[in-house]
A and B are shown apart, each in its own frame.
Chain A
Amino acid sequence: MAMITADPQDVPKVESFSFTPESMAKVNALIANYPPGRQASAVIGVLDLAQRQQGWLPRVAMDEVARILEMAPIRVYEIATFYTMFQLKPKGRYLLQVCTTTPCWLRGSDHVMKACQEAADGVTFSVQEVECLGACVNAPVVQINDDFYEDLDAASTRRVLDAFRRGETPAPGPQVNRQTSAPEGGPLTLKGE
């Protein structure tokens, strides 16, 4: 993934940003976790709130975070560019983070990736290749916004994405007949008796 290290120019101009009253309450709760004068410690959480509100992090949002936390803006830019989960350019409504690390790749993440890329239009869906999401036992896996969709193949990926496109929210977790990471088709041991 290309690193963003300078204020991106190819993004829609966002004139101003301010937290909604609900977000602001959460911001204040985050700041209250730290001793007085150490409000800058809340920066990652506050940036995440800003991203959830705006969908991505325009510079005005980072400047607003810097103002609220009394930090120099450059310190906020440093953090936002360091963590790949902060989006400095606009993305689709659903961010598809496709794991392509070895276990997922062995289990066919290439097909999943292809299905996601076909769906990606930048408005509803955006695709990002990520390293291990830590759900290897349910490989291949795609993180869609906050939820993991597991045990995918090309067909089930398309099914999930179609559901999102229709405005539904498919159930997260394994997309095969399996309870979390239990064996496929139901339990094989300890079946009673």
Chain B
Amino acid sequence: MPIVKIDGKEIEVPAGITILQACELAGVEIPRFCYHERLSIAGNCRMCLVEVKPGPPKPQASCAMPVADKQEIITNSAVVKKARNGVMEFLLINHPLDCPICDQGGECDLQDQAMAYGFDRSRYHENKRAVPDKELGPLVKTSMNRCIQCTRCVRFAAEVAGVEELGATGRGEGMEITTYVQHALTTELSGNLVDICPVGALTSKPYAYEARPWEMRKTESVDVFDALGSAIRVDVRGNVVMRVLPRLNDDVNEEWISDKTRHAIDGLRYQRLDRPYVRKGGKLAEATWDEAFAAIAAKLNGLDGKKIAAIAGDQCDAESMVALKDLMAALGSPNVDCRQDGSKLEAGARGGYIFNAGIRGIDQADAILLVGSNPRLESPVLNARIRKRYLRGRCAIASIGAPVDLTYPVERLGAGAATLRDLAEGKGSFAEKWKAAKNPLVIVGPGALAREDGAAVLALARSLATVRDDWNGFAVLHTAASRVGGLDLGLVPGAGGRDVAAIQAGAQGKEIEAVFLLAADELDLSKFGKAFVVYIGHHGDAGAHRADVILPGAAYTEKPGTYVNMEGRVQLGQRAAYPPGDAREDWAILRALSERLGKTLPYDTLDQVRARLIAVNKSFAALDTQAPGLWVEFGKAGDVTDAPFETPIKNFYMTDPISRASRTMAECMASRQQQMPVAAE
């Protein structure tokens, strides 16, 4: 490995990295604008100049120059300082002095670096150039006068998001970053453009003029809008969530988050349940906690446990789910289900329902088969990871399901389960590629499992998976943040219990008389017949409209909660704000209710609930680790129909109570529909 001398200190660095990266290893900070770790190298801002010996007798752009053995790199000489000052002066020639009204103020790379390299006055007396603002959709606000043409956004759109729609037109002083034909970017990752823009040219439209970074309390948490469990930071002013930003987590989301994760948060302000309600004479009336509990107790008293059922929703924390499970057990009900989409996953061994290879496993896969999955809608950041794998080359990617644009080429084998059966029997040309692959990865999406023959599809997919000590190529792609946690906790029908469909069927007659919905809204709520429905959740969505008693809970930003992502990684979400009005944390509601019903749950504090989680499933003890699950038989061999696989997500921007209440998401949807009048999705 090359040994280089950086500012007089010798250091050994890996071969093939750039001088800028070597300097970072040596702990020397190099200013930069266009260089970004996860994008290709452009080398056009010239801010990262250093002296290199031996080399040309002028400062070199360190981001674009590879290290070589016995190189001497000087980053702190007068020459370097003067060169960077010069670059900065040129960059500021056309940059407006509008920091006081710029949303990037306080977290602006240009502002920060101008403190170190800026000249204290301007020597430029000509007019600054004026650039028309561009229309990039409802999430990205542009102020193109501020643009310094680093082209990070162009590279992000082309490389990570996979939509080549941004470009740099014109030349010289006339160069502009634009879509040329003005339109919103057709990507689910456009919010990240705002993060990678080093200046205030691209800022967040919904957050425009809302807050300053230093006014907000920052809380590190976990995302619940899809099952990826992206690392996020929640910024709160007062008790209002102002914005959500990604945190770095190379194992999960790298440093991207989807537009829904970032911008659905305004839904937390609307349609909130802030007090209990009880249905009286056919209408929901405000009530106190006491009255609400009394109404539930009156219904449940003396009711046979078998006539009670509970369904957990898609965004529940593990704490509330374990409390629900324990309460149902205490009431003698085996009718518990956390799979409101009707998926045929089994709770048993973990290997059968998690993304065994891990998100990082995608990087090692050399053949990927998507079964009934549209990752672009089901988990956009994971889709970007698959695209990253595609860009590295030598990876065959095929799909069975609806024809969709995933931002990378996919060989479409067929529409439904029959194609999967043929593949499992070794028919077709892709079967040979599959056999030849060392690390094949079969990704089974919700569209393949939430159907009658789901168990048979699961068994077929299992037969295609390669499992070794160092590789488990079976992966389930979930859409619900709570699903793996729910299955870990065993929120599936007990002996003689009913699943969601059977609960609904039972509710038509007299077999099911009371149903608990724990933030479960993505169901056909008209199918609960005359059952007494208790809704515990945070939004006045479908579930609350059907409910007979509403108990107001907390949304994910308002409670400390444990979430298990699709790869089985246990992560802690933190409380960033407090729930509105009388609303409480969900597990505490269930605990209080259990006391009222005379079946007191044996925990009073969050720590005790978490101890209970570990008692139910040891996997909750290991935070933020990922390993393949136990590999046993699962699924049920059987006939499959050739009905096409369909992704359950018809509308990416509205999948859950929070995003359905969000005005920003409504705008995104309208903008997308305008672009694609005949939307394929």
**Chain A residues engaging chain B, CB cutoff 8 angstroms:** 3-7, 59, 72-75, 77-78, 81-82
Contact at A72–B178, with CB atoms within 8 Å?
no
**A59-B181, A74-B180, A77-B180 given; A6·B167 CB < 8 A:** no
Contact at B167–A78, with CB atoms within 8 Å?
yes
Q: Which residues of B contact A77 (CB under 8 A)?
A: 167, 169, 180-181
Interface size on B, residues (CB 8 A): 18
Closest Cβ–Cβ distance, residue A120 to chain B (whole Å) = 23
Overall SS of chain A's interface: helix
Contact at B132–A6, with CB atoms within 8 Å?
yes
Q: Which residues of A contact B132 (CB under 8 A)?
A: 6
Enumerate B127-170 residues with CB–CB distance to A below 8 Å.
132, 158, 164-170
Q: Which residues of A contact B158 (CB under 8 A)?
A: 72
**A74-B179, A74-B180 given; A3·B170 CB < 8 A:** yes
In the assembled complex, 27 residue pairs joining A and B whose CB atoms fall closer than 8 Å, in A order, are A3-B170, A3-B171, A3-B176, A4-B170, A5-B169, A5-B170, A5-B176, A5-B178, A6-B182, A7-B181, A7-B182, A59-B181, A72-B158, A72-B164, A72-B165, A73-B180, A73-B181, A74-B164, A74-B165, A75-B164, A75-B167, A77-B167, A77-B180, A81-B170, A81-B171, A81-B180, A82-B170
Q: Count the A-B residue pairs with Cβ separation under 8 angstroms: how many? A: 50
Q: Which residues of B contact A81 (CB under 8 A)?
A: 169-171, 180
A-B CB proximity, top 4 nearest: A3-B174, A72-B164, A74-B167, A81-B169
Closest Cβ–Cβ distance, residue B495 to chain A (whole Å) = 57
Closest Cβ–Cβ distance, residue A77 to chain B (whole Å) = 4
Closest partner residue, chain B, to A2 (CB atom): B174
Proximity string of chain B (353-381) to chain A, C-beta cutoff 8 Å, 1 when within and 0 when not: 00000000000000000000000000000
Contact at A74–B170, with CB atoms within 8 Å?
no
Q: Which residues of B contact A78 (CB under 8 A)?
A: 167-169
Q: Which residues of B contact A5 (CB under 8 A)?
A: 169-170, 174-176, 178, 180
Q: Which of A6, A74, A77 has the most CB of B within 10 A?
A: A74
**A81-B170, A82-B170 given; A6·B165 CB < 8 A:** no
Q: Which of B158, B165, B171 has the most CB of A within 10 A?
A: B171
Q: Which residues of B contact A75 (CB under 8 A)?
A: 164, 167
Q: Which residues of A contact B166 (CB under 8 A)?
A: 74
In the bound complex, CA of A78 to CA of B174 (Å): 12
Closest Cβ–Cβ distance, residue A82 to chain B (whole Å) = 5
Closest Cβ–Cβ distance, residue B301 to chain A (whole Å) = 66
Closest partner residue, chain B, to A84 (CB atom): B171
In the bound complex, CA of A5 to CA of B182 (Å): 11
In the bound complex, CA of A74 to CA of B178 (Å): 9
Closest partner residue, chain A, to B144 (CB atom): A5
Closest partner residue, chain B, to A66 (CB atom): B164
Closest Cβ–Cβ distance, residue A1 to chain B (whole Å) = 9
Choice from B164, B171, B175, B178 contacting A6 with Cβ under 8 Å: B178
Closest partner residue, chain B, to A7 (CB atom): B181
Q: Which residues of A contact B165 (CB under 8 A)?
A: 72, 74
Q: Which residues of B contact A4 (CB under 8 A)?
A: 169-170
In the bound complex, CA of A6 to CA of B181 (Å): 6
Closest partner residue, chain B, to A83 (CB atom): B171
Q: Which residues of A contact B175 (CB under 8 A)?
A: 5
Q: Which residues of B contact A7 (CB under 8 A)?
A: 180-182
Closest Cβ–Cβ distance, residue A188 to chain B (whole Å) = 43
Choice from A3, A6, A82 contacting B180 with Cβ under 8 Å: A6
Contact at B164–A82, with CB atoms within 8 Å?
no
Q: Which of A4, A5, A75 has the most CB of B within 10 A?
A: A5
Other than A72-B164, A78-B169, give 16 A-B pairs with Cβ distance below 8 A: A3-B174, A5-B175, A5-B176, A5-B178, A6-B169, A6-B178, A6-B180, A7-B180, A7-B181, A72-B158, A74-B165, A74-B166, A74-B180, A75-B167, A82-B169, A82-B171
